[in-house]
Structure 1
Amino acid sequence: MRSVITRALLLAAGLVTVAFLATAGFLVFTQAASEASSADQRDVAVVAAVLAVSADADDIRGTIARTAAGAEGRLSVVLADGTRLGAGGGSPVASVDGAVVSVVPAAVPFPFGTLSLVLGVAVVALGVAVWLGHRPFTSVLNALRVLASSAGRRVRLTGPQELEALAGSINAATERTSSLLAKEREMIADVSHRLRTPLAALRLDADAVGSGPVADRIRSAVSTLGHDVDRIIQALQPEEGSSASTCDVASVVEARMAFWSAHAANQGRMLEVDVGEPAWVPLAPDALGAVVDALLENVFRHTPVAAPVGVSVVRHAGWVTLVVEDGGTGVADPSSALHRGSSGGGSTGLGLDIARAAAEATGGTIHLERGRLGGARVRLRFGEANSHHSPASPRAWRLWRGHP
């Protein structure tokens, strides 16, 4: 901000300085030309005075030589008999008893010395003007520094009324956001704790089912759900000294597909999985596993039983792309599908929101498109861990090319 103010002051003061120098130069040059013309007029007057009392050529020649214009060869006299005395052939200036006095105008030298002095004064004045111009902005700059350094806490500043009003608005927005976050955390904690009782009952029922593939899947699902509830409750607690985690997308997807492959086989779905080479991203394994589960849960819940499913992982140019696509009917309202709380398909929309948040946490993007299987395709771009990659495109893309 200070540099912007400095440039503005320099521009304004510079324009004034240029106008001042141009005016001063014109006035100084005009004054010098006027003085030179006055000197020539005085020399002509001296010669004319001699002509008025004497017609002797030697007297007139001597008078011409003693004048500045005559010494420079710019003044001459043509007597009544046609005799020319002195050098020069300028325009006639005076006539005495038939004699004509002529003078060639002197060349006016450019006043470099005077203008150099004026230029020096102008530069000093320019610096003083910029220094003084900063003073009224001191309170504004201080207030802006306070605003810039007050992220996450209440802003207290004194300055222009407009900035004080802005600080009040920021404080109100911060308090409102903190209140909403607190209510959301309380709601999540309450729901999570309420889930513990039915989970305990489900565990008992799952143990009573007996053995077999179906029973094993039920017990695995109940165990996973219990683990997720515990993880949600732990995430609500403040973490101290936590360090950034990384995970291999290929490994996490393979691990989660062990569960979803059994589920697909039970429904008779065709499931294609292509994870490729290891690809590390700056996310915890549980967080990425929750993304995979959320996306596949959407597919299994909102597509026909026989609709095929495809999951793939591709690593390229510093990005890791996770694609989940299906052969369903697609997303009814793609414009709002990525908004939390609304999926356009009768669900809460939290699955896509979880995926979006995870991708953006790595600097990546989420894309919602029509896939090769005919239904929806969710394409997540994660920034690869410890790798340089160019900035991503707009973070949430909603691309829907219509039905084929």
Structure 2
Amino acid sequence: MRSVITRALLIAAGLVTVVFLVTAGFLVFTHAAAVAEAADQRDAAAVAAVLAVSSNADDIRGTIARTSAGAAGRLSVVLADGTRLGVGGGTPVASAGGAVVSIRPAVVPFPFGAVFGVLGISAVALAAAVWLGHRPFTPVLDALRVLASAAGRRVRLRGPKELEALAASIDEASERTAQLLAKEREMIADVSHRLRTPLAALRLDADAVGSGPVADRIRSAVSTLGHDVDRIIQALQPEERESAGTCDVASVVEARMKFWSAHAADQGRMLEVDVGEPAWVPLAPDALGAVVDALLENVFRHTPAAAPVGVSVVRHAGWVTLVVEDGGTGVADPSSALHRGSSGGGSTGLGLDIARAAAEATGGTIHLERGRLGGARVRLRFGEANSHHSPASPRAWRLWRGHP
């Protein structure tokens, strides 16, 4: 801000200085020309006075030589008989006794010395103007510094009324945001706790079903849901959470695919899984598991039952890439697919947002493309744990291309 004010003051004061210099130079030059013209008139009057009382050529020549214009060769006299005394010719300016006095105008030099003197004074005045111009802005700059350093706390400043009003608005908005966040956390906690009762009933019903593949899947789904509810409640108390830690992407994907492969078998889907070698990323296993579940849930919910699914993990150059692709119809509006709450497919859009947040938490990216199976391909790049890799940029972007 200070540099902006300095530039504005320099521009304004500089323009004034230029106008002042041009005006001063013109006035000094005009004055010098007027002084030279007045001197020429005096010289012509002196010669004309001699011509009025004498027509002696020697007297006239002596008078011409004693004048400044005559000594410079700019003054001449033409007597009545046509005799020219002096040199130069020029414009007739006086006459006496039938003789005519002529003077050639002097060349007035440009007053560089005076202009340079004015230029020096202007430079000093310019510096003083910039220094003095900053003084009225000091309260504004101090208030802006307080505003800039007041993130996360109430703003207390003394300055212009407009900035004090802005600070009050920021305080009000911060308080309102804090209230909304508190209400949101309370609502989530309340809903999460309310879900525990029906979950307990579901667990009892699942145990009563007996054994078999269907009963196992029901129990697994209920267990996963209960675990997610517990994780939501824990997330409401960040001060009590443990550090994120690390996890092996290959192991997490293998574990979650045991659950999703059963669903694929029920629907007759072809499921391809290729996890490769162990690949560690700075995410908690639960967080990565939630990403895998969110992506596969989107596939199973929004593609035909017979559409194939592919899941793969690749580790390369400090990055771990998780790819989930399907043989569905793809994403109708990929430009908004990564916007939270707007998927364009009739869902909440939270699945891709969860995946994006997890990837960006490791310094990675999310890419939405058309895959080799003909439908959508979500490609997540995670920064590998304890590895140096170039920053991924941009952090989230979308591609919608033809088949690779």
343-352 or 311-320: bigger deviation? 311-320
Aligned to 1:172: 172
Instruction: Classify the secondary structure of the residue corresponding to 1:239.
Output: helix
Pairs within 5 Å for 1:346-385? 347-362=347-362, 366=366, 368=368, 371-382=371-382
Q: Do the aligned residues in 2 keep the contact of 1:364 with 1:392 (CA within 8 Å)?
A: no
How far 1:145 moved relative to its partner? 1.3
Q: 2: distance between equivalents of 1:216 and 1:296?
A: 19
Q: Do the aligned residues in 1 keep the contact of 2:363 with 2:392 (CA within 8 Å)?
A: no
Aligned to 1:264: 264
Q: 1: distance between equivalents of 2:278 and 2:73?
A: 98
Q: 2: distance between equivalents of 1:186 and 1:16?
A: 63
Instruction: Classify the secondary structure of the residue corresponding to 1:81.
Output: coil
Aligned to 2:153: 153
RMSD: 3.5
Aligned to 2:391: 389
Pairs within 5 Å for 1:277-288? 282-288=282-288
Aligned to 1:191: 191
Shift of the 65–346 alpha-carbon distance from structure 1 to 2, 3 Å rule, reads closer
How far 1:35 moved relative to its partner? 0.7
Q: 2: distance between equivalents of 1:137 and 1:315?
A: 56
How far 1:14 moved relative to its partner? 0.8
CA deviation string 1:21-80 (max 9, x = no partner): 111111111111111111111111111111111111111111111111111222122222
Aligned to 1:27: 27
12-21 or 238-247: bigger deviation? 238-247
Query: Can you give the 5+ residue segments of structure 2 that lack an aligned partner in the other structure?
Result: none
Q: Do the aligned residues in 1 keep the contact of 2:252 with 2:289 (CA within 8 Å)?
A: yes
Q: Do the aligned residues in 1 keep the contact of 2:157 with 2:164 (CA within 8 Å)?
A: yes
279-288 or 71-80: bigger deviation? 279-288
Shift of the 182–156 alpha-carbon distance from structure 1 to 2, 3 Å rule, reads same
Which letter does structure 2 place at the counterpart of 1:95? Answer: S
How far 1:249 moved relative to its partner? 4.4
- How does the TM-score come out when normalised to structure 1? 0.83
Query: Can you give the 5+ residue segments of structure 1 that lack an aligned partner in the other structure?
Result: none
Instruction: Classify the secondary structure of the residue corresponding to 1:305.
Output: coil
Aligned to 1:51: 51
Shift of the 338–183 alpha-carbon distance from structure 1 to 2, 3 Å rule, reads farther
Q: 2: distance between equivalents of 1:202 and 1:196?
A: 10
CA deviation string 1:228-287 (max 9, x = no partner): 333333322233897675555455434433432344234331112345677665544432
Instruction: Classify the secondary structure of the residue corresponding to 2:55.
Output: coil
How far 1:195 moved relative to its partner? 4.1
Aligned to 1:101: 101
Shift of the 319–56 alpha-carbon distance from structure 1 to 2, 3 Å rule, reads farther
Aligned residues: 400
- How does the TM-score come out when normalised to structure 2? 0.83
Which letter does structure 1 place at the counterpart of 2:60? Answer: I
Pairs within 5 Å for 1:2-401? 2-199=2-199, 217=217, 220-239=220-239, 245=245, 249-250=249-250, 252-275=252-275, 282-313=282-313, 321-328=321-328, 338=338, 340-341=340-341, 343=343, 347-362=347-362, 366=366, 368=368, 371-382=371-382, 386-389=388-391, 391-392=393-394, 395=396, 397=398
